[in-house]
Amino acid sequence: MNQLADERQSVPAVPAGEPREDQADLVREFVGTGREYYQRVFHKLGSRSGFRWSFNPVAALIGPVWYGMRGVWNWCMPFAVMETFSFIQIARGLFGDLAAEARNRMVSVQGTLDFRRQQLETAIENEAPNVDVFKRAIESLESGILELQQDVIRIEESAITVAMTGIGLLVLIKLVEGLLANTILERRFSDWLCDRTVAHGISGMRMGLSGFFFIVVVVACVMHYSFPGRFTLLVEFPTNPEYRLTAIDWVKQFFTWTVLKGEWFFDVITLGIRTLLDALEVVFVETPWVVIASFIVLLTWLSAGPRTAIWAGAFLAYMGLLGFWVKAMTTLALLGTAALISISIGIPVGMFCARRPRVYAVLRPIMDFMQTMPAFVFMIPVIAFFGTGKPAAIVTTMIFGGTPVVRLTVLGLRGVPEHIREAAIAYGASKWYLLRKVDLPLAAPSILAGVNQTIMLSLAMVVVASLIGAKGLGEDVLEALQYASVGQGILAGFSILFCAMILDQIVQGRRKGQ
């Protein structure tokens, strides 16, 4: 006990209001410049909870550039926009042409007035009966010009008010920037203590980038809004019509060459799609409706329970009684073909990419492109390669709906706890056994969610696919849109909805019940 008391007495006391030595070293490493100032400020801000007033004059002076060079971009961008708006108001009030739009309207009205006066002179010379009409039109135009002249005077007189408003707004923004700067930087310092990858110090690249961005934005906006229409470069992007025409020719030549050289490849794909589609159409369309309906109701019962099976039977009765049975089954055949191909390709691809990050990094931008590109755009090359009809509709549906199963398979397999895999490997599990008995069972909920999303997105393409020759319920909806047939469109739309609900319950019913 005496030794412990001696050690406590040997530790030098830290004066109140002064940062500890280790804290000071960390602050110096984080801020880079102004170390003594930020040591005092951080200690002041961290000494008690809640907001404490602190003003940073440098941050107030250079504004967004300070936030940018410190790496606080989420505050740099809003402050840059607000300061730009204030500079625009100041420039418009001091040397801008506020009344440019009113003058342009006055010039246009003056041209119309001159034309009407010529028409009046001609009508008087020819003793036309509409002389009074022209006189009234001229009087109205002259009155409009007088009003525009008054507007020009009033707008020009308001220039000083606009400039003062901009100055007041700029001062207010500068005060806010200075007041928030130290608090924001202190919170960023706390984040940096937990995660050293957080940007710290002052980077020359960040300073140059933020300064260049701010100057370009301010100058361009001030010149554009102060002198509207004077600088063509700021109004229209510099281009040449020949660029687009040349690009169109290149794209056309590429597709022509691809179609000629790869005709056999596209024929093989079309044959495979057509074979599977014909088989499913035989099952769904040509099989007696009693068999198909019973099978769907039974499958729904086994997957989601008796109550859901009753609803599925009601939905099927709705489609049958309203005459949508054949088209609904045709839709399911198209959907089944697209979904089966997408799932049979997507799950193995996801399994392959789950343990190969580099492969998935290459594949992910391709999937992003497939999902973000509008369906009507990628329908164009599909038609060029496969023509119109059901195979082209299935390929279009696969492009749009095939990516979720890959993404969620990768997500599910990567989410398998490593300690479980390590335990299985320690007991001598082979790669194949590990995949079948550990990875896939644990990733099954995520994989089923991917299957469900693929089926739902494929069903969402029913109407779009009908544009290129796909039959089914989408054809009824498309006709309803073309001929404004509200009743037909609503009834067919409910049929599509019911198909989606039945499929969703069949695929996800057991997982939802767990």
Mean pLDDT on 378-392:
82
Phi then psi for residue 439, to 5 deg, are -65, -55
* Element (DSSP H or E) covering residue 45: helix 35-46
pLDDT digits (tens, 9 = 90+) for 205-247: 888 888 888 888 888 888 888 877 777 777 788 878 888 888 8
pLDDT at position 11 is 38
Highest mean pLDDT among 136-140, 148-152, 417-421: 417-421
pLDDT grade, residue 51 (50/70/90)?
low
pLDDT grade, residue 509 (50/70/90)?
low
Separation of alpha carbons 345 and 350, rounded Å: 9
pLDDT at position 6 is 42
CA 409 to chain centre: 23
Q: Which amino acid is at 371?
A: Q
Separation of alpha carbons 34 and 189, rounded Å: 14
pLDDT digits (tens, 9 = 90+) for 255-308: 888 888 878 888 888 888 888 888 888 888 888 888 888 888 888 888 888 888
pLDDT at position 327 is 85
pLDDT at position 169 is 92
pLDDT grade, residue 171 (50/70/90)?
very high
pLDDT at 12 over 50: no
Q: Are 120 and 134 in contact (CB under 8 A)?
A: yes
Mean pLDDT on 493-513:
73
Residue with tokens 């040591």: 39
Question: Whole-prediction pTM value?
Answer: 0.68
Q: Are 469 and 420 in contact (CB under 8 A)?
A: no
